[in-house]
Structure 1
């Protein structure tokens, strides 16, 4: 039996990368999928691809920085399929030029990232939860980040917004669990989405690889399969958790690769 039969999933940021992978995987497992994205043409292409493979999907425009747009995407999902049982809050922004250290971060950029990365998650849940209660329950999955657990030289706004997602996930799980609504998050490390491949140099990728426990980088499907698990009944006793999908990049003393190199040279 397919893992997502009778499920209706709204996936934000579903036109590419992690969202697209998740949309494809959920559709393959029997879910009816609504792909919401600012790039509505890309969302339509993704939905057509799913339908061509025998799945059931539609596209809808979403501006995650606009509360009315988020509400409209949720209402569209319910109007299209009669209910919503799965919400994947996956939209997120980062800006390496403006989101700097605490002293130099652009404050307008801080507000923008908090709005898109954190408030959009709150609003997606705010509008979807009443429909989930009416449907008898559901599963919410939020995209956090390892930046919510480990600090960096820059991206203070991004990291703070993703830490907020981690804690918001716990609040949602606590407050709506008795309604059979589960809420979990995934925290990706470096994932080779098309955007990452286009913007990261081989030298930078090699630096990440040096500190991974595993000898390869993550792919969108690595996150997609985790989200699929959290959306399915296979995880029915898991809630309030953030699963770190990061190839072991953050699990060890950061000096281990350097010490290994020194010992190999000795």
Structure 2
């Protein structure tokens, strides 16, 4: 993909979608700094970029810990001299906390708080420390991962849904506040993407039910999302900002 060569992009989060994005960015000649609560996962994402022709650094970062987030941003600037992009893709996926994310009456408040700390406050922290460097460099691009849970009412997963809606508002705030400084911000909302983790966690009958209501003839692949994120991080999208883009096979259709 054009418009990526030499760009320095920070990833807050690793895993399937991040790894697919790293492949596109690496092929375009970008340099990545990937932080994840699992350093091994961050390493696999960096390796995908390296195998595609890029380079990068992996490290262990809990996105809810401001000191660790700042250290990652500082490392990017120290090693590569600038930050051109930020991809916020981390999420609270601890099985126990996900199971306790139910509804407004029954939710475990500890699970609520941890989801807020990771899915929403963590994104804020990454933005807080990355944006000044983008402004100093004359601009940059932010991509935040959200979900169609931000638009649809869900009977359960209230904390997850609220954080995803909040990320949409956070994205628009950044686009509005820092646009004149050359900083763009967009969010990408994936549909059901068949990563290895999804295949393990979602029964086949559930996946079939979702596909039956999807206009597209197949489920998503991580590369579908990675291609859109890479486009938004590239110079090819320099007049796209403040948008929430659904990459979900047509599941979500909005005017």
Q: TM-score range by the shorter chain?
A: over 0.9
Equivalent residues in 2 for 1:181-220, closer than 5 Å: 181-220=183-222
1:27 equivalenced with 2:26 (yes/no): yes
- Structure 2: gaps of 5 or more residues: none
Looking at structure 2, the residues matched to 27 and 127 of structure 1 have their Cα atoms a distance apart, in angstroms, of 24
Looking at structure 1, the residues matched to 139 and 231 of structure 2 have their Cα atoms a distance apart, in angstroms, of 16
Per the alignment, residue 10 of structure 1 pairs with 10
In the TM superposition, residue 24 of structure 1 has moved relative to its aligned partner by 1.5
In the TM superposition, residue 108 of structure 1 has moved relative to its aligned partner by 1.1
Note the alpha carbon deviations across 1:7-35, whole angstroms, 9 max, x for none.
10011212x21111111111111111112
- Is the CA contact (8 Å cut-off) linking 1:96 and 1:154 kept in structure 2? no
Looking at structure 1, the residues matched to 152 and 204 of structure 2 have their Cα atoms a distance apart, in angstroms, of 23
Looking at structure 1, the residues matched to 40 and 211 of structure 2 have their Cα atoms a distance apart, in angstroms, of 34
- Is the CA contact (8 Å cut-off) linking 1:89 and 1:143 kept in structure 2? yes
- Structure 1: gaps of 5 or more residues: 253-266
- Is the CA contact (8 Å cut-off) linking 1:223 and 1:245 kept in structure 2? yes
1:57 equivalenced with 2:56 (yes/no): yes
- Is the CA contact (8 Å cut-off) linking 1:98 and 1:109 kept in structure 2? yes
1:137 equivalenced with 2:136 (yes/no): no
In the TM superposition, residue 53 of structure 1 has moved relative to its aligned partner by 4.3
Q: Secondary structure at the match of 1:97?
A: helix
- Is the CA contact (8 Å cut-off) linking 2:98 and 2:111 kept in structure 1? no
Looking at structure 1, the residues matched to 111 and 121 of structure 2 have their Cα atoms a distance apart, in angstroms, of 14
Looking at structure 1, the residues matched to 43 and 194 of structure 2 have their Cα atoms a distance apart, in angstroms, of 23
- Is the CA contact (8 Å cut-off) linking 2:175 and 2:242 kept in structure 1? yes
Q: Normalising to structure 1: TM-score of the pair?
A: 0.90
RMSD value over aligned CA atoms?
1.5
- Is the CA contact (8 Å cut-off) linking 1:2 and 1:30 kept in structure 2? no
Looking at structure 2, the residues matched to 96 and 213 of structure 1 have their Cα atoms a distance apart, in angstroms, of 28
In the TM superposition, residue 48 of structure 1 has moved relative to its aligned partner by 3.7
Q: How many corresponding residue pairs?
A: 251
Looking at structure 2, the residues matched to 108 and 165 of structure 1 have their Cα atoms a distance apart, in angstroms, of 20
In the TM superposition, residue 96 of structure 1 has moved relative to its aligned partner by 3.9
Q: Secondary structure at the match of 1:131?
A: helix
Equivalent residues in 2 for 1:33-182, closer than 5 Å: 33-94=32-93, 95-182=97-184
Q: Secondary structure at the match of 1:190?
A: coil
Looking at structure 2, the residues matched to 35 and 175 of structure 1 have their Cα atoms a distance apart, in angstroms, of 26
Looking at structure 1, the residues matched to 119 and 153 of structure 2 have their Cα atoms a distance apart, in angstroms, of 17
Looking at structure 2, the residues matched to 47 and 172 of structure 1 have their Cα atoms a distance apart, in angstroms, of 27
Looking at structure 1, the residues matched to 132 and 86 of structure 2 have their Cα atoms a distance apart, in angstroms, of 12
Per the alignment, residue 251 of structure 2 pairs with 249
Looking at structure 2, the residues matched to 100 and 42 of structure 1 have their Cα atoms a distance apart, in angstroms, of 28
